Structure 1
């Protein structure tokens, strides 16, 4: 996961949080979070990168619509990232709560 951009990590998190979302559903979620438009030219090449890296799979709902899901590797990478983050963030949050 270390070699992904922040945008690509966000794509993985959105895919993980939705049930086999299609590209436009992923786009809508990120636009809400970023509070700005996500262009197709940014979205789909990054989704393709996640598929190429073996972190996500692309399936076909119909002839025009693809869906995305995490691979086992993608789930492991998210879990490892969250564990890594927790060793820094949890300590800060615990200190803040204690004060």
Structure 2
């Protein structure tokens, strides 16, 4: 996870927190968080990066719609990241 951009991490968290979200679902959730529009040319290559890294699986709902699920490796990456973050934040909170 240390080689992921903040955008990739955020997308991974959105996928982890949803039940088989489509690309559009992920886009809408991230647009709410970022308070700005995310174009397809940014979103889908980043989703493909998560798939290629083995953090996310991609399936097909129909001919036009894919869904995304987090893999065990993706869940472990999030757990490792949260542990690392908490090692710095626990003392201050």
TM-score range relative to shorter protein: over 0.9
TM-score by length of 2: 0.99
TM-score by length of 1: 0.93
Match of 1:28 in 2: 28
Greater helix proportion: 1
Query: CA RMSD for the aligned pairs?
Result: 0.4
Q: CA deviation at 1:71?
A: 0.5
The 5 A counterparts of 1:1-99 are 1-93=1-93
Partner SS, residue 92 of structure 1:
coil
Task: Return the index of the structure with the highest Cα Rg.
Answer: 1
Structure 2 unmatched runs, 5+: none
Structure 1 unmatched runs, 5+: 94-99
